[in-house]
Chain A
């Protein structure tokens, strides 16, 4: 019986530790201590863009295609194919894009950070940094968090463009129940600039949590090369559950009480 409860128990166990560590890193950014290493932050932002942008956008594009496809067929089955834009607008901006970002950031960026920082921990480079008088948390973790905050909003906005294009392709070109103008009329009617801001906030909160979790598991890795692999796997488990719970909370907070749709008075 105990073995079956292992996953939830270890998850709860590490939750408090990650919270404390995350607050320490975020404190390093907010107090401005990270700006001593601003160049390193920019370098991390550059690595994020050059190393991960294409994968992130490809993933977002596929999810957009899927959003449009399912929406088009669902609207056909309720007898309102011209309203496919409603489904895509909600699916793309409000839910699909934050989740796509959450999944692929935890897979690409989160585990990447664990592998990198964990390798440094195993080969005692972090201790060496400390001996040299450089705060390792500031230099390794806070710079990555600041780098993510610099780069990810722009990746996210480009992702919005891509996911819209993908949904358009699959609804109008692939399924083809609705004309281009008819689709776009409904599509633009059912979203507004505040929705974009809310969606961006959702995505950024997920990205912040993912980077902090990655830094935590990398920073506390132990047990040789095998330990790095195990820590990477553990960070992925934590991130997946965190992404889903944050996504649900975001929906409840931003759209739970008011669906923000142009219907009725």
Chain B
């Protein structure tokens, strides 16, 4: 008896997961279709959302990327490279860390944690106050007017913030070199010999996808919030967990493919 209870609970969890992922996919497709199909009434909202996300995220992003890049790759790698007497190699290392990996990752974490939570809280509040139903009664499509502008704005903002994350990451690398009293010539020399244009476009493209994932997950969770006072809080909680796990998994898959299929990234320099 107890065993069948556990089994059915496990099955419930699995089927719930598939239902959720499927519903998010449907939302993604509907968002894409209504973004392309005319009319396009969301221009003003798009600009507003863009500025809103940028305003919320710029400060956490700059602090986070600088701190993470100074601590994790900067000081750890500089410590071990100084034992080898090869501190100029830090530049080549920062191509891997700041451009390929940590830049997109921290941008996604900050956008999910700062802008994604705000989107879920906003849409969840509208859902709880039954504003979304009211919009539908008025003949206004919530997906076209609310989800599409957030989706497009997050995609653009995340790609934009990735550039700032890379700049801050490289500044943190420079700060690590300066802490070890190194001239910066070696850092820039290895940085520029190791960096390829593939690194840059894959990083920015990856970030665009992260923005799309975060926007869809957070909009979905906000629009399906329910259950009174605890509901919106719980929706925010689930939204940020799902977006983080999805983003990390997606990044692993994408960077596996990009690293394995582009031989110029693996050439010995």
Contacts and interface: CB of A to CB of B under 8 A. Distances in A.
Interface stretch (B34-42, B151-159, B245-253): B245-253
B63 A255 contact: no
A79 to B, nearest CB: 4
Contacts of A255: 75-76, 79
Interface in A203-251: 224-226, 228-233, 236-237, 239-241, 244-245, 247-251
A116 B229 CA distance: 9
A259 interface: yes
A108 B232 contact: no
Looking at chain B's contact residues, is the secondary structure mostly helix, strand, loop, or mixed? helix
Interface string B35-77: 0000000000000000000011111100110011011100111
A76 B92 CA distance: 12
A126 to B, nearest CB: 12
Most chain B CB within a 10 A radius of its CB, from A4, A107, A116, A255: A107
B58 A259 contact: no
Contact of A119 (B97, B120, B230): B230
Interface string A8-29: 1001000000000000000000
B197 interface: no
Given A7-B59, A55-B245, A107-B241, A119 B233 contact: yes
Most chain A CB within a 10 A radius of its CB, from B71, B84, B234, B256: B71
Interface string A96-133: 00010001101110011011101100110000000000
B128 interface: yes
A112 B248 CA distance: 20
A69 B255 contact: yes
A9 to B, nearest CB: 9
Nearest to B264: A77
Interface stretch (B110-118, B140-148, B204-212): B110-118
Interface in B17-47: none
B93 interface: yes
Contacts, number: 213
Contacts of A69: 252, 255-256, 259
A38 interface: no
Given A77-B269, A99-B72, A225-B229, A233 B55 contact: no
B237 interface: yes
A247 B71 contact: yes
B60 A226 contact: no
Given A77-B266, A232-B121, A247 B72 contact: yes
Interface stretch (A40-48, A56-64, A154-162): A56-64
Contacts of A248: 67-68, 70-72
Contact of B128 (A104, A116, A118, A225): A225
15 contacts: A6-B55, A7-B60, A66-B248, A69-B252, A77-B194, A79-B268, A90-B80, A112-B234, A115-B232, A225-B128, A225-B232, A228-B232, A233-B117, A237-B114, A248-B70
Lowest 8 CB-CB distances: which A-B pairs, in order?
Answer: A115-B233, A259-B79, A229-B232, A248-B71, A229-B121, A233-B117, A119-B230, A251-B71
Given A90-B77, A115-B237, A255-B76, 7 more contacts: A59-B248, A69-B259, A111-B240, A116-B233, A244-B63, A248-B72, A259-B82
